[in-house]
Structure 1
């Protein structure tokens, strides 16, 4: 006959071994109340000897806290989000919280399901990078539930919550002015954001706020310099490497090809770099390239790539810090933090070819 699985040690077992009451052991193991150092040491030693593991559900019912923070990002394979999540987890761990991470794939339906799952798991707060800023009712409901919410990298006018973003518009303006000063007039901007017919017409088509601000900055500077109809140089739908390769190949093989490309993230930038090589165009003599996000690969290619270095780790770190402050009862009004970017000049940008 099969033996039943061994029973996990309980608070009562720890109390018995430490020679204290169950209530005292519970205070030490739960981190609340006041006990002497001698008692705390005895209970801690007993818990270690018995390999005691706390019952998180029971503890959350007692304290009203689960000790967890839910995080929803668009694409965890993108180095941008990986680094931002590192910033979040470092701050959360120092504050005594565990992070539960869910990837939305930049799909709003998946994001809604992720938020529902995290709320059902009774997370203490949420950090979300919204995939579609015009569809945030689920985030409004989460905020109304009483759980603190912070937005990462992408804000929303419809949500009065703590928000941490980078100065994307300013960064795009600076990059565009630099390219124009070198004689470039056929400048393409390439993003993974998409439209139903895969054509860009106006920045209002872009639901991701960080990208929309970059495109607005790009187009605004072009208009100031008297360039017309630059909307046709904005390309959307670079969702996968294959999509990006197809779009870039078509652009670079067109009769009027761009002399410079601004990649909206480093994943796209890498595909632009590879596609130009495949076609036989040299960077930067035939094509200048600038990429948002200072990914590791950008500094080791030949030539190394000029990038907009975003404060990615600090974005995650700041969002987590604001959320922890909320959980600790600090802060009354919602806060909007804008972090500065930096253009790192390397060797992928040159004067426009004659």
Structure 2
């Protein structure tokens, strides 16, 4: 076995100073772009740095300037297309402003999120963007302010805290999706989420510790209650991650009183529900109607293509990055909360319930909701 080559020593500011025939302090000022340095000397130092392939020590620079030109981001699940699109918005805005992004994943676990926040603060990031795993357990986020770093919440709020946040009007969006199903004649409508919940069935008044899910449940409940549906909470399931989405979907679709429509709280849930419906030998929308939150590409090419609640995910991420940059630069901000609307994109996965469900096909039940209709795609 041939010996490993010795690693090349990193080029230092002292090396640049010797090559440019200036003092180390002068080279540091020229490289860091601070202090008084003539243009001739700055050009000579930069030319030497380029010739020697100098890579600046970002940690040392941040210690001198108080800035690292980085934004730390903590998301719940990097496998979820939602966060991938949001990260693109964050990265594009940050990059155009000369900032790098450090991404971490909490797996929707508060302890992991707390550890990620600590790591990012240790990395001297200039601001943090966090999608909190819980809207109730947010005490650790106070460390961000204590460190003098701006904090922006993405997709979710923090109960009782006045942090900057960028969210969607989930309550109205969920109510619109439910009203769409009610107008087709559905009465047994399920809402399915993977958010952890201590009981298998939601009970009105239960605490839901993620604001986005809580708002969606409120919207579904509002629309069902306005339509006179008895026990509107009976088909709301919040424990699908722990029990398995397929298992919960089978319970809803193949029980003694099966649902005729499902609203999936994200596209990953919708994909599994879609597969479960097919496995059970059911048809969409003839036997079961399906609406998904979010609009990834696959929802357009299924048979049938899915009706979706489309959130402006890229814009959410971009807005979060812009707010973080505003705070970094000390700009005045009028409102702490930025709230976007969502659109109901109608395709082919929603239809009347089957005749066997107790409502004649094509017959709509009265809907007393005052929610206005949304435009079609």
TM bracket, shorter-chain basis: over 0.9
1:225-261 alpha-carbon deviations (Å, 9 max, x no partner) = 1112111110122227x81111111211112111110
Match of 1:78 among 80, 86, 89: 80
Q: Secondary structure at the match of 1:101?
A: strand
Unmatched 5+ stretches in structure 2 = 356-377
Partner of 2:327: 326
How far 1:41 sits from its partner (Å)?
A: 4.2
Query: Equivalences for 1:186-265 in 2 at 5 Å?
Result: 186-202=188-204, 204-239=206-241, 243-265=244-266
How far 1:159 sits from its partner (Å)?
A: 1.9
Q: Secondary structure at the match of 2:291?
A: strand
1:89-145 alpha-carbon deviations (Å, 9 max, x no partner) = 111112222211111111111111111121222221111111111111101232233
Q: Is the 8 Å Cα contact of residues 161 and 334 (structure 1) preserved in structure 2?
A: no
How far 1:7 sits from its partner (Å)?
A: 2.1
* Alpha-carbon distance in structure 2 between the residues aligned to 1:289 and 1:108: 31
Partner of 2:57: 55
Q: Does 1:298 align with 2:299?
A: yes
Partner of 1:96: 98
**CA distance 1:230–1:42, shift in 2 (3 Å):** same
**CA distance 1:202–1:33, shift in 2 (3 Å):** farther
Partner of 1:124: 126
Q: Does 1:278 align with 2:283?
A: no
Match of 2:27 among 2, 25, 28: 25
**CA distance 1:73–1:2, shift in 2 (3 Å):** closer
1:262-293 alpha-carbon deviations (Å, 9 max, x no partner) = 00000000001111001110001111000000
* Alpha-carbon distance in structure 2 between the residues aligned to 1:144 and 1:334: 22
Query: Equivalences for 1:112-151 in 2 at 5 Å?
Result: 112-151=114-153
Q: Secondary structure at the match of 1:14?
A: helix
How far 1:15 sits from its partner (Å)?
A: 3.1
How far 1:17 sits from its partner (Å)?
A: 2.8
**CA distance 1:93–1:286, shift in 2 (3 Å):** same
**CA distance 1:4–1:192, shift in 2 (3 Å):** same
Q: Is the 8 Å Cα contact of residues 154 and 210 (structure 1) preserved in structure 2?
A: yes
Count of residues in Structure 1 that have an aligned counterpart in Structure 2: 353
* Alpha-carbon distance in structure 2 between the residues aligned to 1:35 and 1:122: 27
Deviates more, 1:138-147 or 1:168-177: 138-147
Deviates more, 1:136-145 or 1:321-330: 136-145
* Alpha-carbon distance in structure 2 between the residues aligned to 1:30 and 1:55: 10
How far 1:341 sits from its partner (Å)?
A: 1.0
Q: Does 1:350 align with 2:332?
A: no
Partner of 1:313: 314
Partner of 1:183: 185
- Report the aligned-residue RMSD: 2.0
Q: Is the 8 Å Cα contact of residues 235 and 252 (structure 2) preserved in structure 1?
A: no
Q: Is the 8 Å Cα contact of residues 264 and 291 (structure 2) preserved in structure 1?
A: yes
* Alpha-carbon distance in structure 1 between the residues aligned to 2:206 and 2:41: 62
Q: Is the 8 Å Cα contact of residues 203 and 216 (structure 1) preserved in structure 2?
A: no
* Alpha-carbon distance in structure 2 between the residues aligned to 1:153 and 1:2: 49
1:165-209 alpha-carbon deviations (Å, 9 max, x no partner) = 011111111111111111010100000112123331136432111
* Alpha-carbon distance in structure 1 between the residues aligned to 2:76 and 2:223: 29
TM-score normalized by structure 2? 0.88
Q: Is the 8 Å Cα contact of residues 11 and 52 (structure 2) preserved in structure 1?
A: yes
* Alpha-carbon distance in structure 2 between the residues aligned to 1:61 and 1:31: 14
Deviates more, 1:37-46 or 1:280-289: 37-46
